[in-house]
Amino acid sequence: MALIVQKYGGTSVADADRIKDVARRIAATRDEGNQVVVVISAMGDTTDRLIELAYQMAREPSERELDVLLSTGEIVSSTLLAMTLRDMGYAAISLSGAQAGIHTDSAHSRARILEVESKRVIKELETGNIVIVAGFQGVTGEMDVTTLGRGGSDTTAVALAASLGAEVCQKYTDVEGIYTADPRLVPEARLLSDIGYEEMLEMAGYGARVVHLRAVELGELYNIPILVASSFTQKPGTLIHGGASMEVRNKVTGIAHDLDIAKITVVGVPDRPGIAAAIFQPLAKAGINVDTVVQNASIDGVTDLTFTMAKRDLSEAMRVIEPIAKLIKARECISDSRVGKVSVIGTGIQSHPGYAARMFTALSERGVNIQMISTSEIRITCIIEEAGVEDAVRALHRAFELETGE
Amino acid sequence: MALIVQKYGGTSVADADRIKDVARRIAATRDEGNQVVVVISAMGDTTDRLIELAYQMAREPSERELDVLLSTGEIVSSTLLAMTLRDMGYAAISLSGAQAGIHTDSAHSRARILEVESKRVIKELETGNIVIVAGFQGVTGEMDVTTLGRGGSDTTAVALAASLGAEVCQKYTDVEGIYTADPRLVPEARLLSDIGYEEMLEMAGYGARVVHLRAVELGELYNIPILVASSFTQKPGTLIHGGASMEVRNKVTGIAHDLDIAKITVVGVPDRPGIAAAIFQPLAKAGINVDTVVQNASIDGVTDLTFTMAKRDLSEAMRVIEPIAKLIKARECISDSRVGKVSVIGTGIQSHPGYAARMFTALSERGVNIQMISTSEIRITCIIEEAGVEDAVRALHRAFELETGE
C-alpha cells in the first residue's frame, strides 16, 4: 500500500460533473489499495470572481482580508469533493489548510510554508479516510489564514507529499505533461515520459505554466517525484524526478522560451570591485527579479553590463538604475523591451561544446541575431529579438531532432 | 465608551451596495465613540445556493462537510465588510467563528454553543479594530467547523454580547421591530418600543421570524438587551429586555399565532401515575417537539390527553403513539392537522381573569370554537380550527385595543 498525493487544478473541478469525474479517479486510486491525499484548487473562475467582488468593495482590498476571502474557494471545492466521494461509498473528509497543518509566515497573498504539521492528516488516513485538503492556503502562528500566491496549490501538494513521505505527488491538469517545447508553438513537440528537476526548472516560462517552479524546487529539495498528467485522459504523463541528473544522460531534453523579458545595458562601466553590487542591490531592494546577467571582459578598464527582467519591471528598473549609473560614472543606460529568450535544456549540455555550436548555427541559419548568451550546467540561453523567438524555438526543435523518440 | 454588538442578516448584505450601507451604519456607531463587534450572515441567497450545490454532489450530503461548505458564506460576507470599512478609513478585521472562539458541541448542522473564548476579539477591540465575526458557525474541540442551525447568527451575536459584557445586542433586519401582532395579518398592528424576554418568547411563531427564540433565551439568561430594528431605516426599533417582567405592568402586549401545528388526542386514557411519561418519553426520543399539552380532570378513572406539535411531525408522532396507546389500554388516538394556535401575551395576564374572559368572548363573537385552552403566567392560548386563526388574530387585536398607544 502506497501513500499518494494527488493535486487537481481549477479546470479539473470547474463544475459538478467534473468534480464527479475527479472523484472517480480518486476512487480508482483508492481501489488499487493506496492511501490517498488530494489537494484541490478552487472551482473554475471562482478565485477571479472573488477578487472582482473584493475590488467592488475597496479600491485596495486589505491583503489579510483578501486571503481569507480567497481561501473560501478551495474550501468549497474540497467539501464538494468529499461529499461526492462519500456519496460513492468512500470514507472521505475535507480539511482546510489550517486543519491540514500548513503553517506559513504572515506574508499575506504570497506566504511561504514554514512547516507542515501533518498529525491530523495522518490520523484521518489511519481511520481509512481519503483526505481532501484545500490547496493554496495556510495559517500563521496567530491562526490567521494566508494564501501562498502563484503556484500555491502545487506547492501545498508537494509540501504535503514531503511531510507525509508520499511515494509520488501526482498533478492532474488540462495538459498531458511536459513537452520538448511549447506545443502551441511547435506542433510536433513530443511528450516527455520523464524529466529531471533541474531541467524542469530551466524550462521556466513554458514549464511554469504546467507546474509552478516553487513546487518543483520543493520536490527537488525533498526528492518527491512529481507526475504531471491530464485529468481528462488516461495517458501516463511526465514524471519529474531526481534520476535524470544522477545518471548524466548528455542529451537535449527540450527547448524553452520566454517572451516576457526586457533588457537593460549599462554602457561604459568602470571595471572595479563593488560595481555589480552597487547596481544589483538597489534593484533587489525595489523587488525587481533580475534574470540573466552578462558582463563582458573589460577593455581599457571599462565594460558593459547587461541584464534582463520581466517586461512589467522595466520602467521601475530604469528609474532605479539611472541615478546609480551616473554615480558610478557609467556612460549611459540603454533599455530594450522587444527581446525574448530561447534556451536549449539538457543534462550535461555544457560539457559538450557541440550543443552550443549546433544551437548558434541553427539560429544563424534562420537569420537570428544573438544579443546575449548565458549558459549553465544544463542550459544554453540566447537573448534575441522578440519577433524571432517563435521561429527560433521551432528551428531549434528541428535542429536537435526532438520530434523523434528519446 | 460602550461596547455594542450588532448583527446584520442576509438581506442587509445581499449585494455590494447594501454591504456599503451596512458599513456606513457601523462607522456611525464607531464615530459615536463605541467599540463595535459585528456579527454577519451570508449574502442574500448564498446559503441556499451552496445547499443546492451540495445536493448536486450527493443524495444526502455529509453533515460535517455541509457545515464546512455553508460556513464559507458568512466568511465571504465578513471579509467583504471588513475590506469596505478599511477602505472607508476604519480599522477593521474579520474573524471566523473559530477565530472568534465560538466553541460548540459536535452536533453538525445544529450545534450548540458550549463556550465563547473571546480573547482574540478582546485583543482586536483593544487595538482599535471594529471586529466582524462570521455568524452561524463555530468550532469543535477537534477544530472542526460546525453550524448552529436555525437562528444561528442571532445566537452568535447574543452569545458574543454576553461573553464580552456588551451594553446591548442590536439586531438589524428587514422589519422595523416587534409588532402587537403579525403586521401581514393585522395592518393596524402597532410597533412596540419594548417587550420583555418572556413575552417575546411567548410571541413564538410570529416573533421567531424576527429574532430566533434561542437568541432571546440566551439574552434572558445573561440579561443582554436585544434591540430589533430595520437596517433600511433610521427608526428606533423594539428593545427586548428584562425590565418588563420586573415591574408587572398588567397589560396585553400582543397577539401571537401559529398555523404550523397539528393535534393528537389520546382518548380514554386510564388515569394512573406514569401514563404521561409513557406517552411523552418515546415522543422525545423520536425528536418530536411537543408544544401545548392539555389533560382534563378524569371521570370514572379515565381521561383524555391532547397535545400539539409541528405539522411535519404529525405522522411520525402517530406512528410512535399508536402502539403505546394500545399498551396503556387507551381507547383510541385521533389526529387533526387542520388546527392553529392564537395567544394573548402580556405580563401578569393570568392574575387578571378579566383578560381570559375578554379573549373567549371575542372569539365566541366571531363564531370561533375553542378546542383547547392552555395558560401561563403571561399567556392565554387557544387551539382553534386553522381556517379561523387569521380572523381570530384580528378580532383579538381589536378586542384588546392594541392599535392605540401603550
Q: Tell me what ipTM this predicted complex has.
A: 0.81
In a domain, A179, yes or no: no
- Residue B206 in any domain: the answer is no
- Domain CATH number, residue A314: 3.30.2130.10
Could you tell me if A155 and A276 lie in one domain? no
CA distances from B309 to B283, B306, B337 (A): 10, 10, 9
Query: Which among B19, B57, B66 has the least Cβ separation from residue A84?
Result: B57
Residue B39 contacts residue B100 (beta carbons within 8 Å): no
Residue with cell 554602457: A267
Q: How far apart are CA B351 and CA A26, in angstroms?
A: 69
Q: Which residues from chain A sit within 8 angstroms of residue B64, using beta carbons?
A: 93
**Beta-carbon separation of B65 and A56 below 8 A:** no
Q: Which among A19, A79, A144 has CB closest to B69?
A: A79
Contacts 24+ apart (CB under 8 A), B375-378: B375/B350, B376/B202, B376/B350, B377/B198, B377/B348, B377/B349, B377/B350, B378/B196, B378/B198, B378/B199, B378/B202, B378/B245, B378/B345, B378/B346, B378/B347, B378/B348, B378/B349, B378/B350
Nearest residue of chain A to residue B54 (CA atoms) = A80
Tell me how far apart the alpha carbons of residues A47 and B15 are, in angstroms, rounded to a whole number: 18
> Nearest CB to B65: which of A54, A62, A79?
A79
Instruction: Establish if B211 belongs to a structural domain.
Output: no
Question: Is the same domain home to A160 and A277?
Answer: no
> By CA distance, what is A67's nearest residue in B?
B79
Unique residue bearing C-alpha cell 498529525: A119
- The domain of B357 spans 255-399
Residues A288 and A384 in one domain: yes
Determine, for residues B57 and A75 on separate chains, whether the beta-carbon distance falls below 8 Å.
no
Say what the pLDDT of residue B245 is.
Answer: 46
- pLDDT for res A247: 46
Partner-chain contact B87 A58, CB within 8 Å: yes
Interchain CB contacts (distance < 8 Å): A and B: 108
Does the residue A206 lie in any domain?
A: no
The pLDDT, as a whole number, for residue B206 is 62
Q: What is the mean pLDDT of residues B361-366?
A: 91
CA-CA-CA-CA dihedral for A323, A325, A326, A330, to nearest 10 = -170
- Tens place of pLDDT for every residue, chain A, 406 residues? 799 999 999 999 999 999 999 999 999 999 999 999 999 999 999 999 999 999 999 999 999 999 999 999 999 999 999 999 999 999 999 999 999 999 999 999 999 999 999 999 999 999 999 999 999 999 999 999 999 988 899 999 999 999 999 999 999 998 899 999 998 889 999 999 999 898 888 886 666 678 888 899 999 999 999 999 998 888 899 999 987 544 445 578 899 999 989 999 999 888 877 888 888 888 888 888 888 888 877 778 888 889 999 999 999 999 999 999 998 889 999 999 999 999 999 877 766 768 888 899 999 999 999 988 888 878 888 999 999 999 999 999 999 989 886 4
What is the least distance, in Å, from the CA of B109 to any CA of chain A?
Answer: 14
User: Is the pLDDT confidence value at B199 over 90?
Assistant: no
Of A58, A82, A96, the CB nearest to B62: A82
How many Å separate Cα B93 from the centre of its chain?
Answer: 29
The candidate with the shortest Cα–Cα distance to B175, out of B213, B225, B210, is B210
Residues in chain B: 406
- Whether the pLDDT of residue B69 is over 60: the answer is yes
Helix ranges (DSSP H) in A105-147: 119-126
Backbone φ, ψ for residue B107 (5° rounding) = -80, 90
The domain boundary, picked from A139, A159, A174, lies at A174
The answer to whether position A229 is within a domain reads no
pTM for this structure?
0.83
Check residues B150 and B105 and name the one with the higher pLDDT: B105
Average pLDDT score over residue span B341-357: 82
**Nearest one of A2, A41, A21, A26 to A215, comparing CA atoms:** A41
The band of B246, judged by pLDDT with boundaries at 50, 70 and 90, is very low
Of B124, B155, B174, the residue at which a domain comes to its end is: B174
Is A266 found in the same domain as A137? no
CB A263 within 8 A of CB A339: yes
The DSSP call for residue A179 is B
CB-nearest partner of B83 from A16, A58, A98 = A58
Distance of CA B180 to the CA centre of its chain: 16
Residue B80 has its nearest CB partner, among A57, A93, A145, at: A57
- Nearest residue, CB atoms, A16 vs list B56, B65, B78: B56
Residue A113 sits in a domain whose CATH number is 3.40.1160.10
| Distance, CA of A132 to CA of A5 (rounded, Å) | 10
Number of domains, chain A: 2
C-alpha cell at A154: 502545487
Give the tens place of pLDDT for each residue, B136-146. Answer: 999 999 999 99
Same structural domain, A263 and A385: yes
Which positions in chain B have a beta carbon within 8 angstroms of at least one beta carbon in chain A?
16, 19-20, 50, 53-54, 56-62, 64-66, 68-69, 71-72, 75-76, 78-84, 86-87, 93-94, 96, 98-99, 143-144
pLDDT value, residue B289? 85
Same domain? A144 vs A28 = yes
Q: Are residues A169 and A293 in the same domain?
A: no
> In this complex, do B79 and A58 lie within 8 Å of one another by their Cβ atoms?
no
- B93 contacts in chain A (CB < 8 Å): 64-65
- Indicate yes or no: CB of A75 within 8 angstroms of CB of B68: yes
Mean predicted confidence (pLDDT) in B14-29: 96
CA A76 to chain CA centroid, Å, is 25
**Same domain (yes/no): A170, A24:** yes
Identify the CA nearest to A67 among candidates A8, A149, A143, A134: A149
Residue B136 falls within a domain, yes or no?
Answer: yes
Residue A203 falls inside a structural domain: no
Are B18 and B138 contained in the same domain?
A: yes
Q: How far is B58 from chain A (nearest CA, A)?
A: 5
Secondary structure class of B75 (helix, strand, coil): helix
How far is it, in rounded angstroms, from Cα B266 to Cα B173? 42
Domain boundary among B174, B208, B228: B174
Query: Which chain B residue's Cα is nearest to A143?
Result: B99
Tell if the CB–CB gap between B61 and A93 is shorter than 8 Å. no
**Residue B72, min C-alpha distance to chain A (Å):** 6
* Interface contact flag, A62 B76, Cβ < 8 Å: no
Q: Which of A21, A38, A53, A57 to mutate to test the interface with B (most CBs of B within 10 A)?
A: A57
Q: Give the least confident one: A318-332, A366-380, B93-107, B221-235.
A: A366-380
| Strand ranges for B1-148 from DSSP E | 3-8, 35-40, 92-95, 102-104, 113-116, 130-134, 137-139, 145-147
Q: Is residue A195 part of a domain?
A: no
